[in-house]
Structures are given as structure tokens and as C-alpha cells.
């Protein structure tokens, strides 16, 4: 049986759907399980029942500070060892993102997985095209960002889910592999041009100041988001590679189209073209 953690999250839900489409025996694990899912709370190690699971797709629980994320992942890996899981597939972060504010938790988890004694595969996912589009801010004059003219090799979330399903369905063929799953370079200006809007660049200091004034953000989020903006702006995240295409056996989904859809969905009515 294959288990996918965080089954109600967007990447996890797509991965479960992909595996089900392959007629794999798959179950989702979640702290808020729906019908047919297994209760799984990373913050409660006593809840981590992985009995009967042969392959675990560990989708990063990265929505927290590093110490909490790593503790969560350590508890899951320990449970996998205890309960006889054969193979762990971990959704990590592209190697080009080592400078990002949330990279450390990913690399620490990769170490946990490698040192577990279990068979493993690391999927180093590029940044979501959906996220890139959503991080562009609408103003009355058009789109605004701190990305400058920098490019990011963004990836459609559905492509990453499909790649995870390919690996989890036949884990033995991918044991001990680290895959760099990045897409094609896109820019904020390219998104704006496709929409028919202008794009204005703001400084990183202004971007961070705005986020620090945003009470809806958690304390770890402004530095995380600022690191993404700086990485893109200064050309660290635009590199491409063939591994995602090779795993999928088809061309990758156009990330520009996905980013445009994400940005357009957030466009205020007052800025829409009439």
C-alpha cells in the first residue's frame, strides 16, 4: 500500500488522484481525514500509524519554523522504520534553492531519510508556477513585484504530483535517486505581458516592510518570501533540466500559462479590462 501524507493539501491531493488513476492501492493520511483516509498528525507521534504501508510519500510539512518542521519529519521517519515501511519518497526543494529561507528543513529531512536505513527517493521540486503568479501584486497601474527581471524555472503543481505518482508506483526503479524537478524559466514581466498589464519592480526592502505590516502573515513567512524574491531577482532559480520531462514521459505543462491563471484569478474587479 502507498500512503501520501498531508492528503488534503494541494500537492498531496493531486498525487493521490494520480496514483488512483494508475489503479495503485493508495491511502491518504491527514490530521483532518476525510472518508477513506487515515488519521495522521505529525505533531502527535503516537498517532503515526504506518502499519501496512510499503511506500510512503512524505510531502513536506513545511508550514512552520524549521525546528518544528524537522521534528515532524523525524517523527514520521521514525514511525516508518518502526512500522516496516520499505521505501520513502520525500518531496524536497530544488538544489538551486539552497540559499532560500526554508531550504534547511528540506536538507535536514533529506539527511534523515538517507540515514533511515530504508530505501528512498528524493524529489527536489522547483517552485510552483501557481505560487509565482499568486505572489504578483495587483495595483491600479498593473502588476508589481520584487522579482525584477529575474526568471524562475517554475513548475505546475500537477506535474510534480504526476512525477511523485510515477516514482511511488514503481519505487524500486527509483531507489537512491535524487531528481531535480524544475520547469521552464518565466518572469514577472512575461506574466504581465501575457495578461496585458504593466509590471513594476519594487525594492526588496519595500517588499519586506510591506510584509512585516501584514498581520495575516506568520513570523517565519516574511523572511521566507523575501528570500524567494531575492533568489529570483538575482538569477539563482532560473536553471532548467530534463529530469521532470523524462519522468513524465511528456513535455512539462507550460508554467507561464499556469502563473498567468493564478495571477488573473487574484485580479481585483477594479483593475479588470472592460
pLDDT of residue 47: 86
* 79-110 pLDDT, tens digit each: 999 999 999 999 999 999 999 999 999 999 99
* 238-267 pLDDT, tens digit each: 999 999 999 999 999 999 999 999 999 999
Q: For the chain, how many structural domains are there in total?
A: 1
Hunting for cell 498567468 — which residue is that? 260
- Can you give the residue range of the structural domain that contains 215? 2-267
pLDDT of residue 61: 87
Stated pTM of the model:
0.95
Q: What is the CATH number of the domain that holds 167?
A: 3.40.50.720
Residue 274 lies inside a defined structural domain of this protein = no
Contact 255, 131 (CB under 8 A): no
pLDDT band for position 14 (cuts 50, 70, 90): very high
Residue 272 lies inside a defined structural domain of this protein = no
pLDDT band for position 274 (cuts 50, 70, 90): very low
Among the listed ranges 49-53, 217-221, 246-250, which one has the minimum average pLDDT value? 217-221
Residue 29 lies inside a defined structural domain of this protein = yes
In this model, does residue 273 exceed pLDDT 80? no
Average pLDDT, the chain: 96
Whole-angstrom distance, CA of residue 76 vs CA of residue 5:
10
Amino acid at each position: 500500500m502507498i500512503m501520501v501524507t498531508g492528503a488534503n493539501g494541494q500537492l498531496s491531493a493531486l498525487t493521490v488522484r494520480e496514483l488512483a488513476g494508475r489503479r495503485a492501492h493508495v491511502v491518504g493520511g491527514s490530521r483532518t481525514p476525510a472518508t477513506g483516509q487515515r488519521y495522521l498528525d505529525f505533531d502527535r507521534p503516537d498517532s503515526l500509524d504506518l502499519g501496512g504501508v510499503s511506500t510512503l510519500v512524505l510531502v513536506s510539512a513545511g508550514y512552520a519554523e524549521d525546528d518544528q518542521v524537522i521534528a515532524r519529519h523525524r517523527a514520521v521517519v521514525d514511525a516508518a522504520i518502526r512500522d516496516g515501511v520499505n521505501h520513502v519518497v520525500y518531496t524536497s526543494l530544488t538544489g538551486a534553492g539552497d540559499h532560500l529561507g526554508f531550504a534547511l528543513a528540506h536538507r535536514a529531512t533529506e539527511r534523515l531519510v538517507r540515514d533511515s536505513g530504508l530505501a528512498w527517493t528524493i524529489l527536489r521540486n522547483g517552485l510552483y508556477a501557481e505560487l509565482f503568479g499568486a505572489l504578483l501584486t495587483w495595483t491600479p497601474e498593473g502588476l508589481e513585484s520584487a522579482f525584477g527581471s529575474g526568471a524562475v524555472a517554475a513548475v505546475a503543481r500537477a506535474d510534480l504530483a504526476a512525477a511523485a505518482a510515477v516514482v511511488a508506483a514503481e519505487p524500486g526503479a527509483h531507489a537512491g535517486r535524487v531528481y531535480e524537478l524544475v520547469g521552464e524559466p518565466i518572469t514577472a514581466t512575461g506574466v504581465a505581458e501575457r495578461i496585458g498589464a504593466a509590471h513594476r519592480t519594487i525594492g526588496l526592502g519595500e517588499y519586506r516592510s510591506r510584509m512585516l505590516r501584514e498581520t495575516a502573515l506568520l513570523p517565519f513567512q516574511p523572511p521566507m518570501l523575501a528570500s524567494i524574491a531575492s533568489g529570483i531577482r538575482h538569477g539563482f532559480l532560473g536553471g532548467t533540466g530534463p529530469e521532470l520531462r523524462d519522468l513524465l514521459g511528456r513535455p512539462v505543462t507550460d508554467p507561464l500559462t499556469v502563473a498567468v491563471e493564478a495571477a488573473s484569478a487574484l485580479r481585483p474587479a477594479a483593475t479588470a479590462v472592460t
